[in-house]
Structure 1
Amino acid sequence: MKITRWALAAATLAASTSAGLAQNAGSLNIYNWGNYTSPELIEKFEQETGIDVTVTDYDSNDTALTRIRAGGHGFDIVVPSNNYVPIWVEAGLLQELDPAEIPNIANIAERWRDVDWDPGRTHTVPWQWGTTGVIVNTSLYEGDINTSAIFLDPPDELKGRVNIVPEMTDIINMTVRYVGGQQCTDDRDVLRQARDKLVEAKQHWIAMDYGTVDQYVAGDMDAGVNWNGASMRARLQNDDLAYGYPKEGYPVWMDSAGILTDAQNSENAKTFLNFVLEPENAAMISEFARYANGVEGSDEFMPEDMRTAPEIVVPAEHEAAGYFSVTCPEDVQRLYTQIWTELLR
């Protein structure tokens, strides 16, 4: 964005004083999930630092991983989900973070400081966290929405109106749970059942898309697998929409931001990670994307409607069905990929 010389000088002084990190020049290229980065947050960051930011979208963890592995991408920051972070780290794709260079790491809430997928937070910082469930237009269907049958055995009212977010691991794990297995199973019989169920169900789907808020609001889609924050954004514009927590099991996840090993703007990337760990800035991301974040002190800046929203606050009766996504072993990942490839044919 363009700013005056006076504003740039003021931003430079403010950034160097408050963070002690910013280059206050150059650019930053962020590779993130689509419709997930607050424009107001980016504008504020650019004004305070003088760094020009470009955000490029992706639609799934596998899309992001494949593109970065191919090289020549030009990105500095990526935001993988927790069950993919170990894959990025083991492949040497993420830099190790130095807390001395990103002092706001101290603002990470205790629950998220030492996590299984990134012990000690050596490579990533929290972005947003939430659940993967189902969304239903209740003006068309009045039955139980807390079940994966919504997309795997859809009722007649919803057939041909179902959308699936194209996130392989979540979709297969939800299906495995539906047929009686557990996430990351290597039981070939269970996986065959899951594959067959997905292939059978596909005939009743209208799309496999991730950017669907507007389509649900307009009634172009009426049910499907969806993330809780996106579901809240849709429901705020169409109160016939409701979010369900499948009783067979639903994933709980956290997306975290890391700096790519081959980043061309590493110092600017560190400045940005430090910036988003400020409680007020973390709340800006939540207000836009409508997910919880992992930053201590951000609650006081959060929108009031998120504190009681049924998509954000899991009802007590549905808590037990949630399971935190984990990284599946390589042999299981290969089996999942085979199923997914067959589904996409």
Structure 2
Amino acid sequence: MRDTRILLTLPALFMLATSASAEGKLNIFNFGNYTSPELIKKFEKSYDVKVTITDYDTNDTALAKVRQGGHGFDIVVPSAQVMPIWISEGLLLESRPDLMENFSNVDPKWVNVEFDPGRRYSVPWQWGTAGVAVNTSVYAGDINTSAIFLDPPAELIGKVNVVPEMSDVMYLAIAYAGGEACTGDMTLLKKVRDILNNAKPKWISMDYGTSEQYSKGDVAAGFAYNGATFRSRLLNPAIHYGYPKEGYPVWMDNAAILKDAENVENAKLFLNFIMEPENAALLSSFARYANGIVGSEAFMPEDMRGAPEIVIPEELKAQGQFSFACPPEIQAIYTKIWTELQK
């Protein structure tokens, strides 16, 4: 039988030293202001792991950074509509969350998902809707429409912020123009381009904004996410969330381990950790989104149970559709429209 003992050559010694130096660390790359500090403290204490969080603003920013390599991150949190890109480009580790101890806590509706069938790469982080936020002390009209940011009423002109997340803005604009998600109808897409370009001069900004900007009145309305709007309302009761009657996307963000992660075992511990109901509740309690983990509701703040930002009005439920990745050729057209809008 061949001798299988390992000879510690200089390269092997170097690899061991690198591995040893990486122990006790975890580097998370996530959307800004989206990770519960309390959850991180609990994880660090439970496993004696030092966690570092680096923020990004959009899915596009995260993807571009990781594609470059040399980033040093272990975990990333892509949205469902871009997950197929991360997987097809080999950027994620097939870490098999479906075999982890706490996987049984994942809500069955979020298990065999189209963007990661059977959950071989990712676990639910949080999910919600994309719609509009409005300061009702500034504007008292109908808020369940994308016209709030695509054709702002006089009271809101110059006071609108648009979160620069291309896929969701395009979804809302296409629905507002009367089209279906991932349409390739060039006549309709030209209409969408014109709607966006005509609306932009009426906006004050295109950034993620903050709850404080809404609560203080620096921004009065705009395209926003339900949990972020919830946090704004806690600071200013006049801030309300609208579900566009023309159609709005339902989304899910997902935690996954990067293929070139240095701290794989710690990253696996973290994925399993956030599938524990009490820990998933910490994520939701901070960012104010649902999480996809059965039993987590029992540990959430009371004010989340009937919150209008989380409980979709019955008459508007049918207008919400889950947002999937569009075919590459369609995505290229959307990117062209988006690039023109940002000039």
Q: Which category of TM-score, normalised to the shorter sequence, fits these structures?
A: over 0.9
Alignment CA distance shift 1:108-1:24 (3 Å): farther
CA shift at 1:303, angstroms? 1.1
Q: Distance in 1 between matches of 2:104 and 2:246?
A: 37
Q: Choose which of 276, 285, 293 in structure 1 pairs with 2:283.
A: 285
1:147 matched residue in structure 2:
145
Q: Distance in 1 between matches of 2:64 and 2:169?
A: 19
Please state whether the residue corresponding to 2:324 is helix, strand or coil. coil
Q: Choose which of 236, 259, 274 in structure 2 pairs with 1:276.
A: 274
Q: Distance in 1 between matches of 2:299 and 2:97?
A: 24
1:173 matched residue in structure 2:
171
Please state whether the residue corresponding to 2:126 is helix, strand or coil. strand
1:217 paired to 2:227? no
Please state whether the residue corresponding to 1:236 is helix, strand or coil. helix
Q: Distance in 2 between matches of 1:43 and 1:322?
A: 35
2:115 matched residue in structure 1:
117
1:51 matched residue in structure 2:
49
2:17 matched residue in structure 1:
none
How do residues 85-124 of structure 1 correspond to structure 2 at under 5 angstroms?
Answer: 85-99=83-97, 102-124=100-122
2:297 matched residue in structure 1:
299
Q: Distance in 2 between matches of 1:77 and 1:214?
A: 28
**TM-score using structure 2 length:** 0.92
Alignment CA distance shift 1:175-1:99 (3 Å): closer
Show CA shifts across 1:158-191 (max 9, x none): 0000000110011011101111111111111111
2:189 matched residue in structure 1:
191
Please state whether the residue corresponding to 2:253 is helix, strand or coil. strand
Q: Distance in 2 between matches of 1:100 and 1:79?
A: 17
**TM-score using structure 1 length:** 0.92
Q: Is the 8 A contact 2:168 2:249 kept in 1?
A: yes
Q: Is the 8 A contact 2:105 2:276 kept in 1?
A: yes
Alignment CA distance shift 1:284-1:202 (3 Å): same
Q: Choose which of 55, 67, 70 in structure 2 pairs with 1:69.
A: 67
1:340 paired to 2:341? no
Q: Is the 8 A contact 1:158 1:222 kept in 2?
A: yes
Amino acid at match of 2:135: N
Task: Pick the structure with greater CA Rg.
Answer: 2
Alignment CA distance shift 1:206-1:102 (3 Å): same
1:3 matched residue in structure 2:
none
Q: Is the 8 A contact 2:157 2:203 kept in 1?
A: yes
Amino acid at match of 1:124: S
CA shift at 1:214, angstroms? 1.2
CA shift at 1:102, angstroms? 2.5
Structure 1 stretches of 5 or more lacking a match? Answer: 1-22
CA shift at 1:101, angstroms? 6.2
CA shift at 1:333, angstroms? 0.8
Show CA shifts across 1:207-259 (max 9, x none): 11114211001110000000000000000110011000000001100101000
Alignment CA distance shift 1:99-1:77 (3 Å): closer
Q: How many residues align?
A: 323
Amino acid at match of 1:340: W
CA shift at 1:105, angstroms? 1.5
CA shift at 1:100, angstroms? 7.6
Amino acid at match of 1:304: E
CA shift at 1:111, angstroms? 1.1
Amino acid at match of 1:201: A
Q: Distance in 2 between matches of 1:141 and 1:206?
A: 16
CA shift at 1:25, angstroms? 4.1
Moved >3 Å (runs of 4+): none
How do residues 223-262 of structure 1 correspond to structure 2 at under 5 angstroms?
Answer: 223-262=221-260
